[in-house]
Chains A and B, each alone.
Chain A
């Protein structure tokens, strides 16, 4: 009898959970259709949400930045206006538009950094007011039945470039917590191709959290659409909320006290994200022509998990010069821990007069391969009259915070060996310390006991 009661209770709970999955308002939307945010805010649901959303990084593509060198205090930075060599353009200079016809094929196409902005492009990055609120594409992030064919740029009757949206009833009644695909539809194609920029795939095969069926927002859980982010040295814009491993796992996540002691100076990612991938390097000064006649920046690409990270001390403040964007920190700085980074190098045009990196409008080089025409167009947009372009390289350290593994995590012998993954010399250790740190003597007794227990 007890067993039946338990089964009955479980069925009731399961039924309640299934009911909870259906978003309220289905009948209202089926009857009245879906008009965008105004529908979401009707019937007393989600009041004021659209207005608040206009203040977030997802809408503004920028925020004030307080941990990066050589930025103006109080000024907002992000993909709206940053210049660096993974993208070399930004929303301002590489605004979504129809590019000039390719001389060979006569064909044209739409392109621009703000293609992923969740508005309609008429109300664009950082816009405000009622029109901007109405332009928000809630469903591209929240619907599980979004028809992505509709999210394409087109020209309206007066020649404006508009980004389409799926505002169908079918998409609107399938709303809920964003799934992985809602996030990845934009984030996986950033930087010029699938999985190029950050170099990770989020699948059950590549990340322990995905294997446990966790979705992006289980860690990056938003409040009022302010999405918590980590401290990737190259990801400056933030909503003022942060996420880290210890939020869930605590400061002492291991049963083994030696491992917990390591966590004091070594970031979780160092042992638990031993691989990285994506674009190794790009050349924005020389674009490669594709089969369709259009040009793309020449890119060396690797798969997720195909490359080894570089390790450095990081105190969550960022060096930012024309030649280098990456972590600051040192062994003697108690705020610093050793982190893994995805190493990337980009070649682009710098201004010989100022030494500063120049940005690029992609429309001219995409059509004809003329990269200096792209620099000229961007300079014109920014009001830069005089510059002397010269090619050069910039190194960028990207945070390596996904591809988390438990099974393949680094163990003692991976680092404490003469051919170990950590370059102790570069990390600031003396020759005598290195001799000790790279000897099996440092872990021999412990590993021997463990080996005996396991076998």
Chain B
């Protein structure tokens, strides 16, 4: 009986936690649109960049790690620059936000 009660309480606790942090707990990928405020790459051959964006909905600053070569190339030759609005998906891995999708919203 005690064991059943413990399992029930654990399930309730997990459920409550998921409801409290819906974005992080229920979805593998978090989506956002925001403007770039900072791009940190460490040189022409850098294979990673830390990019900070201001979430349009919450005004919160979110820093993501960008590892894909196509996007890194766009930082290096300034096809993507500070001020550009970005549509982004990222995952939280080991406490870091890892970019999975990073596109300018603008077109012509």
Which residues of chain B are near A113, meaning CB under 8 Å?
A: 108
Q: Min CB distance, B57 to chain A, in Å? A: 8
Does A203 touch B at the CB level, under 8 Å? yes
Taking CB as reference atom, which chain B residue is nearest A96?
A: B108
Contacting B77 at CB < 8 Å: which of A112, A115, A181, A193? A181
Q: Min CB distance, A147 to chain B, in Å? A: 6
How far apart are the CA atoms of A411 and B78 in the complex, in Å?
A: 43
Q: Are A147 and B33 CB-contacts (below 8 A) given A113-B108, A189-B108?
A: no
- Known pairs A149-B81, A191-B107. 10 more at Cβ < 8 A? A111-B108, A116-B108, A189-B104, A192-B108, A193-B103, A193-B106, A196-B107, A290-B85, A291-B33, A291-B56
Q: Is the CB of A193 within 8 A of B79?
A: no
Q: Is the CB of B70 within 8 A of A189?
A: no
How far apart are the CA atoms of A191 and B35 in the complex, in Å?
A: 21
Q: Is the CB of A203 within 8 A of B70?
A: yes
16 A-B pairs whose Cβ atoms sit less than 8 Å apart in the complex: A115-B108, A147-B78, A149-B81, A181-B73, A185-B79, A189-B104, A190-B107, A191-B107, A193-B103, A193-B107, A194-B103, A203-B70, A290-B105, A291-B33, A291-B35, A291-B56
Q: Min CB distance, A84 to chain B, in Å? A: 15
Nearest 5 A/B pairs, CB to CB: A291-B56, A193-B107, A149-B78, A192-B107, A189-B107
Does A148 touch B at the CB level, under 8 Å? yes
The size class of the interface chain A forms with chain B is: 20 to 34
How far apart are the CA atoms of A194 and B70 in the complex, in Å?
A: 13
Does A308 touch B at the CB level, under 8 Å? no
Which residues of chain A are near B57, meaning CB under 8 Å?
A: 291
How far apart are the CA atoms of A191 and B107 in the complex, in Å?
A: 7
Q: Is the CB of A190 within 8 A of B78?
A: no
Does A292 touch B at the CB level, under 8 Å? yes
Contact with A along B39-72 (1 / 0, CB 8 A): 0000000000000000011000000000000100
Does A350 touch B at the CB level, under 8 Å? no
Does A77 touch B at the CB level, under 8 Å? no
How far apart are the CA atoms of A190 and B107 in the complex, in Å?
A: 6
Which residues of chain B are near A147, meaning CB under 8 Å?
A: 77-78
How far apart are the CA atoms of A185 and B80 in the complex, in Å?
A: 11
Does A397 touch B at the CB level, under 8 Å? no
Which residues of chain A are near B34, meaning CB under 8 Å?
A: 291
How far apart are the CA atoms of A371 and B102 in the complex, in Å?
A: 30
Does A339 touch B at the CB level, under 8 Å? no
Contacting B78 at CB < 8 Å: which of A111, A148, A191, A292? A148
Q: Min CB distance, A398 to chain B, in Å? A: 16
How far apart are the CA atoms of A146 and B74 in the complex, in Å?
A: 11
Q: Min CB distance, B16 to chain A, in Å? A: 32
Does A267 touch B at the CB level, under 8 Å? no
Q: Min CB distance, B34 to chain A, in Å? A: 8
Which residues of chain B are near A291, meaning CB under 8 Å?
A: 33-35, 56-57, 85
Interface centre among B79, B85, B104 (most CB of A within 10 A): B79
Interface centre among B35, B77, B103, B107 (most CB of A within 10 A): B107
Which residues of chain B are near A148, meaning CB under 8 Å?
A: 77-79
How far apart are the CA atoms of A95 and B56 in the complex, in Å?
A: 29
Q: Min CB distance, A344 to chain B, in Å? A: 15
Q: Min CB distance, B94 to chain A, in Å? A: 25
Does A208 touch B at the CB level, under 8 Å? no
Q: Are A190 and B77 CB-contacts (below 8 A) given A291-B33, A291-B56, A292-B85?
A: no
Q: Is the CB of A194 within 8 A of B104?
A: yes
Q: Min CB distance, B51 to chain A, in Å? A: 16
How far apart are the CA atoms of A69 and B40 in the complex, in Å?
A: 52
Which residues of chain B are near A145, meaning CB under 8 Å?
A: 77
How far apart are the CA atoms of A385 and B75 in the complex, in Å?
A: 47
How far apart are the CA atoms of A115 and B108 in the complex, in Å?
A: 7
How far apart are the CA atoms of A147 and B105 in the complex, in Å?
A: 20
Contact with B along A282-302 (1 / 0, CB 8 A): 000000001110000000000
Contact residues of A between 86 and 118, Cβ < 8 Å to B = 111-113, 115-116
How far apart are the CA atoms of A289 and B106 in the complex, in Å?
A: 13
Q: Min CB distance, B79 to chain A, in Å? A: 5
How far apart are the CA atoms of A147 and B88 in the complex, in Å?
A: 24
Contact with B along A180-192 (1 / 0, CB 8 A): 0100010001111
Q: Min CB distance, B56 to chain A, in Å? A: 4
Which residues of chain A are near B107, meaning CB under 8 Å?
A: 189-194, 196
Q: Min CB distance, B100 to chain A, in Å? A: 12
Which residues of chain B are near A149, meaning CB under 8 Å?
A: 78, 81
Q: Is the CB of B103 within 8 A of A146?
A: no
Q: Min CB distance, A90 to chain B, in Å? A: 12
Q: Min CB distance, B15 to chain A, in Å? A: 32
Which residues of chain A are near B56, meaning CB under 8 Å?
A: 290-291
Contact residues of A between 254 and 274, Cβ < 8 Å to B = none
